Amino acid sequence: MADTLKFELVSPEELLLSGDAFEATVPGVEGEFGVLPQHAPFVSALRPGILKVKMADGSDHEIFVRGLAEAGPEALTVLAEFALRVGDYDAEKVASDIRDAEEDVRDASDEAAKAKAQLNLKHLTDMQAVMAQR
């Protein structure tokens, strides 16, 4: 279809969503941007935020993502280092995970373990902040 683009959302573990899309709104590091068919070639790192996709089958998807997006005239590919459907977000679980991550930072046995724990904590608090604004 000329008025759609191929959309793929890929995580390190799996292909999360794939199909023809009418449009997408992507949380780029320099601001949110829209992607429609015939978009100019473009690559952007993503800030933690909500990816919104309107699929040709009539479904709409909202997914918290962190990663990289590559857009072009015929396709949009989102390479997510992390992705979670907005409907699957559990505020209580994330709050618990944040408490555990804070403990991991405090209990880290060396600098490498501490850096890893701090990064995990940042990812969790970023997600919590984005979802709190919804």
Work out the average pLDDT over 102-114.
96
DSSP single-letter state for residue 89: -
Measure the CA–CA gap between 8 and 76, rounded to whole angstroms.
Answer: 7
pLDDT band at 40 (very low <50, low <70, confident <90, very high): very high
Residue 90 has pLDDT above 90, yes or no: yes
Query: What pLDDT was estimated at residue 2?
Result: 61
pLDDT band at 134 (very low <50, low <70, confident <90, very high): confident
Give the angle 125-129-132 at the CA atoms, nearest 5°. Answer: 135
Work out the average pLDDT over 105-118.
96
Instruction: Please tell me the pTM assigned to this model.
Output: 0.91
Per-residue pLDDT of 45-56, as tens digits, reads 999 999 999 999
Q: Residue 76, SS3?
A: strand
pLDDT band at 1 (very low <50, low <70, confident <90, very high): very low
pLDDT band at 12 (very low <50, low <70, confident <90, very high): confident
Measure the CA–CA gap between 8 and 75, rounded to whole angstroms.
Answer: 8
Q: What is the mean pLDDT of the chain?
A: 95
Residue 65 has pLDDT above 80, yes or no: yes
Residue 126 has pLDDT above 90, yes or no: yes
